[in-house]
Structure formats: structure tokens, C-alpha cells
Amino acid sequence: MALKIILVDFKGTLYNTETKKMYPNWEIIFQLKMFGLEVWLWSRDELGGTERDLRNKIKKKFDKVIISNEKNLELVEDPIESCVISDHKNDIKMAQKAGAKTIWIRQSKYKNSWPEKEPDFMVYSLNEAVAKIGMLMMNKTGVGMPKAPYPEVTRPLLVCFEKN
């Protein structure tokens, strides 16, 4: 099965709970649309006022938004065709049980809280997660260029790396 959907967690993955701001360069996730992937926002409905307002402000940028009390992949038609990006081991565990690909980002207060089963990829930033998916997609198509959903997209995926 081909990868079709990227589910990205909000709190701890896009939103830094310590600084109360979005992580720098969080919008890099949308570069994956060049491969014809859908990017979904995936969040629990437990956020405080400021976090909720910010999430509501950015949600129009996503192809689909899933907000519920319990995170699960029931709304994904075929979880095997999806990849979950999250900072929390419980999200990774749930995604693995559903058969989805997993990317664990070690950047929040949960960075030392290891998932029970090894994720498909472990990265330290959203930039690295996007690079991993980009490499997977380029290898699957057998070329060094992304599959352009629009004719005007003709350049390779641009990924910015953070200094450590």
C-alpha cells in the first residue's frame, strides 16, 4: 500500500507547551503535499483557551482535522496508508496497533519516554520527520523528484535543517 495520509499531532509536535508557541518552521509539514499526500491535524479536545484558539486558527491549513476526546484511527479508511507523527508514546503505540507508519519526535517533555515498540523512525524535529517522509516518497517513485500534484511544482523537496 502507498502512503496517502500524514496525521500530525498538535500539542508537543506542532505546539511547544513550554514556550506556549508553535515550534519554529512548523509549516514545513505542508511540503509533503508536493507528493500528493494529505496532511491531517490530529488532536485531543483537552486544550486550554490559548492553545485551543491557536489550533483553531491554523486548522484551516490542513486537509482534514480530527479533534476528539480519545485519539484513534477510526476515521482513517485504511490506516496502513497513513503515517502518524507525534511526540507521545501512546500515540505511537495506538498507530502501530492500527498498522500505520510511525515517526516519534523527541522534542517535548516526553522526549525520554520511550514507546514500548520501536517506531518506524525516531527524529528530533519536524524538519527531520518531513525529510524522512520525503526520502521514502522519492524512493517509492524511483526518482529524485516529488510527484507533483500541480504542474507548476517542478523543483525537488526543500528541507531546512536546524542547528543543534
User: What backbone phi and psi angles, to 5 degrees, belong to 56?
Assistant: -65, -30
Q: What are phi and psi of 68, to 5 degrees?
A: -150, 170
Q: List the one residue out of 64, 17, 25, 69 whose CA is nearest residue 45.
A: 69
pTM of the model: 0.80
The dotted CATH code for 5-141 is: 3.40.50.1000
Domain ranges of the chain: 5-141
Q: What is the pLDDT along the chain (164 residues), one digit of tens a residue?
A: 588 999 999 888 998 888 988 998 999 999 999 999 999 998 876 666 667 777 788 889 999 988 877 777 777 888 889 999 999 888 899 899 889 999 999 887 777 778 788 999 999 999 999 999 988 888 765 444 444 443 444 444 444 444 44
